[in-house]
Structure 1
Amino acid sequence: MNWTKEQLALSEKYSCKEEIPESERRYKCHTCHLIVDESPCPVCGDVNLEIMCPLDNCDCSHEIAATIEYCPLCGEPVCPECGCHDVVQISRVTGYLQDVSGWNAGKQQELKDRQRYSIT
């Protein structure tokens, strides 16, 4: 992903999503699938909203990506082509494909640290 200078400046300004002032925050409501500016959700009343990363563009048209990148601000997996944070990362473990969101923090960091090679 080619992050813009403005996006990289945001990642240097804040070290995590929780540091973003409440006046600048946007939230993702996973109940009604909207992006809202306040908590609780004004549409459905859900109070369990996710603070949205300012680098998330929320509009990915890619169904499958062969590689994955990580957001410089929040560290979450992102689409390598558009930077969308709404991706499901799967990996093969002992012959089975599975979503890595259920892995513990150590195993997820191991996945991030893996070196990728291509035979040319």
Structure 2
Amino acid sequence: MKFLVLVTTTLLPLIPGVVYGVDFDGWCASHYGNVGKPWAICGKAEYVNDDPKQGISRWSVRPQDKCKLLKDDPTAIPFCCAKSIHKIVNSHVWAHSGTAVDPVMIKEDCHKLA
């Protein structure tokens, strides 16, 4: 039991470092690579009529290296995604400003980290 408390106490502070950290590409690869979602991106939800109650119309996503820290930009939600999303995001010429991706694709091909 003491071991479990020690491990939990040690690992718990690492979680915010992953979500609020600078680089989570390697983290995605090691934790979601086995399910085909090794690429990190971030994005923000764009809602129908700017009303969150009406649902997400699309996600505006960017490559991980173009993302601000979540603590600096709470709209920069981190994801671990499949190659299909990674290719869409990185093939967009204006990737620094965000690429519109269908919410169904994000739901199926990505794992939301925050």
TM-score range, shorter chain: under 0.3
The structure where strand makes up a greater share of residues is 2
For CA contacts below 8 A with separation 6 or more, give which structure has more relative contact order: 2
Q: What is the TM-score normalised by the length of structure 2?
A: 0.26
TM-score by length of structure 1 reads 0.25
